[in-house]
Structure 1
Amino acid sequence: MQTLSRTRSHKLSTRKRRLRWVNRLILMSALTCTTLALLGIIFLFATRSGEELREWAAGTLLTTQHDYWAPYTFLPEEKLNALKEQIRNPVVINSEPDGPIAPEESPQEQSVADTPPEKPKELIEVEEIDVSKGNYYFKGKIMYINDPKRVRLVVTNRKDRGDLLDEFVKKTNAIGIVNASGFHDPDGYGKGAKAYGVVIHDGKILQGYNPKNGETALGITYDGKLITGSYTAEQLVKMGVRDAMSFRPQLIVNGKNLFKDKPAKSWGIQPRTAIGQKADGTIVFVVIDGRQPGHSIGASMNDLAELLEERGIVTAMAMDGGSSSMMLYKGEAITKTSCPYYRGRYLPNAWAVI
């Protein structure tokens, strides 16, 4: 009996020790979580770095369908309003379409007879983008189209929804393609049938410009010049534009980086798409992946403008971004969409190389 009693006492003692350790572990975990939460609050609300992080978060939210969450970053009202103003009313500069795209050769250069002929360029060349900014990083692709006359705006002919990029490819045999216009998208369930802003296709105005949208036009003329600015559809057609759409903001106009030395926080960090042109006429498509930790977080508008400026782009504008951003080459996706559906989103139109 004594042996049985001792055994029971030993078991009870063991259980009590285990319970004490469990209680201590729970208490330590609670204290640790509380301490980390307090430190996080102190960092976010009592340090300059924390305030900058909240500004980044607010700018990112303001450029999504979830902009109603931006006030919960608890930024001062004047700062939040300043971010909203930068997004809603970016600087717009009309480009100069009448000047020559390619620089003229000097008489000395023209007289050199023994200069070997240049190797013909491929129609499309693709560059890999992999950039680390320290606190964040992004990957993507730049597509160089060496014949600007081959770049066209393709538009959906559906009424119930837009087209996926691979559907545009099947309809037009496009070699390369990226998304273009933004569209009505309530709560993220928009079907991409109706574009915002101006739409011109093959010289015909499909949709007039609505200045209340705050969008900026981007068009390509019949001879391959890229034009961007605050133009109506009628003005663009008179300027010889074959295809055009609208979005914002402009990134580079007449060689000027419009985001140089400006704070990047207003537009946040997102997946991005942009269209631009080099001085020699080469059109570029750019897509930066985002919202994918471990692969690519996304880029700011400053990052995008700087990337293009470094590569000699003289005119460029952002297209719709976020989960719409995607690039296909020869029928295959060469960027990684943040859309839950691997084929991307339904779109009203796209820029394509045909």
Structure 2
Amino acid sequence: MNPKPVQRTTAPPVPQRSRKRKKKRRAWRLLRNLTILTAISGALFGGWFFLTASGTELRYMMADTLITTQHRHWAKYLIGQEGLDRQVAKYTEQFAKMSETTSTISVQVPTPREEAKKPDEPPVKIEAIEGPKFKGHLLIVRDPKKIRLAVPDKVGKGEKVSSMVKRTGAIAGVNAGGFVDPEWKGNGFQPTGIVISGGNIFYNDGSMTTPTSIVGIDKEGRMVAGRYTPKQMLEMGVQEAVTFTPKFINDGKGLIKSPADGWGIAPRTCMAQTADGTILFAIVDGRQPHSIGATLYDIQQIFLEKGAIIAANLDGGSSTVLVHNNEIVNKPASPYGERYLPTAFLVFDDPAHAPIRNIWEGLDISKIDPSKW
């Protein structure tokens, strides 16, 4: 007896509206789960960031980095306004103490006769430097007396370092001192503090007895860094100088004791000198994928490895630039390229005849509007 054939029935198709509802519910569940996961992760990160020692160290490092930029006020969102004020006061006091240290180790600058015995040695050399978070260059100047402090050639406007190098016929150049920039437009014409070039005061926003922190070179070719009055500078025979801070190596010893005191991570330009008179400029890129930036502690360690006995900080950030043979060697942090600046340390074959004139002579500096070009 044949069994009855099994009747197969096809399930009715799921309405399209029902499928859409299921997809929507899955999407909402996924979104809900992601939101919960994000909230939990955020809470855990916030707890670590604000309540643990390692998180606090990172917060203050980030705040210090912001303090070195034009967006200093943003640091308050990391450490509060009181924390920001406290951190700025701390660095101000720390830098002042560093500037007051005096050098006792003498520098033996080569005489012209000794230099003449080295005809095959180039006046400058450039070496690559790098660390875990940064890449940069070291400009090595054998004879410190080949360096002059250059300034712009037009009233009312700063000048790019590459332009200064080309215009004056220099071999190489780096940015030097800071400038007044109230609206962060980078006019670069009005320096801060003092500018000395060729042994003459080109610019001084204080009196002859107002102390200011300087970085420069005296008539014997010895690097000078510290806090002095313009009167003292002239008595000391300071030849080339700008105002900046801090001095961070003295007598071959680092004054910055740990990375946490290195004033954040940023593009850097710093200057040092070894016992044989050689000047070292460290130029470090920053705020870019290939190089986040360096702390002053990072630069200090590089200089100490090279035998520096004195070192000091120069203007950095978007101003940091190295020019050699009329080409920009590094990658400036500014998306617009080089900044217009008031000062640069340039290296010359014949510095005595460098075409550098006092662009501020005869100007009433109280009437300069640094926000206008």
TM-score by length of 1: 0.85
Q: More deviation in 19-28 or 49-58?
A: 19-28
Q: 2:163 pairs with 162, 167, 188, which one?
A: 167
What stretches of structure 1 move > 6 A for 4+ residues in a row?
211-214
Query: Deviations for 1:148-180, whole angstroms, at most 9, x for unmatched residues?
Result: 111110011322220011111121111111110
| Structure 2 contact 186–339 (Cα < 8 Å) conserved | no
Query: Residue 287 of structure 1 corresponds to which residue in structure 2?
Result: 283
Query: Residue 252 of structure 1 corresponds to which residue in structure 2?
Result: 249
> What stretches of structure 1 of length at least 5 have no aligned partner?
105-116
CA distance in 2, matches of 1:76, 1:68: 8
Instruction: Please state whether the residue corresponding to 1:88 is helix, strand or coil.
Output: helix
Query: Residue 30 of structure 1 corresponds to which residue in structure 2?
Result: 35
Instruction: Please state whether the residue corresponding to 1:74 is helix, strand or coil.
Output: helix
Query: Residue 354 of structure 2 corresponds to which residue in structure 1?
Result: none
Change beyond 3 A, Cα 1:82–1:266: farther
Q: Which amino acid aligns with 2:340?
A: Y
- Corresponding position: 1:276 with 2:276: no
CA distance in 2, matches of 1:62, 1:340: 20
CA distance in 2, matches of 1:213, 1:181: 18
- Corresponding position: 1:186 with 2:182: yes
Query: Residue 243 of structure 1 corresponds to which residue in structure 2?
Result: 240
Aligned pair count?
329
Instruction: Please state whether the residue corresponding to 2:91 is helix, strand or coil.
Output: helix
Q: 1:330 pairs with 309, 322, 325, which one?
A: 325
Query: Deviations for 1:69-92, whole angstroms, at most 9, x for unmatched residues?
Result: 222113594x54442123223121
Instruction: Please state whether the residue corresponding to 2:18 is helix, strand or coil.
Output: helix
RMSD: 2.6
Alignment of 1:25-64 (within 5 A): 25-64=30-69
> What stretches of structure 2 of length at least 5 have no aligned partner?
1-10, 111-116, 349-373
1:143 to partner: Cα distance: 0.7
Query: Deviations for 1:46-97, whole angstroms, at most 9, x for unmatched residues?
Result: 21111111111221122222111222113594x5444212322312135448
Query: Residue 111 of structure 1 corresponds to which residue in structure 2?
Result: none
CA distance in 1, matches of 2:167, 2:179: 21
Query: Deviations for 1:84-117, whole angstroms, at most 9, x for unmatched residues?
Result: 12322312135448x641299xxxxxxxxxxxx9
| Structure 2 contact 158–188 (Cα < 8 Å) conserved | yes
Q: Which has the larger radius of gyration?
A: 2
Change beyond 3 A, Cα 1:69–1:126: same
Alignment of 1:66-215 (within 5 A): 66-74=71-79, 77=82, 80-89=84-93, 90=95, 91=97, 92-93=99-100, 95-96=102-103, 100-102=106-108, 120-132=120-132, 137-208=133-204, 210=206, 215=212
Query: Residue 110 of structure 1 corresponds to which residue in structure 2?
Result: none
Instruction: Please state whether the residue corresponding to 2:174 is helix, strand or coil.
Output: strand
Query: Deviations for 1:198-225, whole angstroms, at most 9, x for unmatched residues?
Result: 1111121112264999851122123321
TM-score by length of 2: 0.81
1:266 to partner: Cα distance: 6.1
Q: Which amino acid aligns with 1:223?
A: E
Q: Which amino acid aligns with 1:125?
A: K
| Structure 1 contact 217–228 (Cα < 8 Å) conserved | yes
| Structure 1 contact 139–289 (Cα < 8 Å) conserved | yes
Q: Percent same amino acid at aligned positions? A: 35
Instruction: Please state whether the residue corresponding to 1:158 is helix, strand or coil.
Output: coil
Q: Which amino acid aligns with 2:171?
A: I
Instruction: Please state whether the residue corresponding to 1:169 is helix, strand or coil.
Output: helix
CA distance in 2, matches of 1:299, 1:100: 29
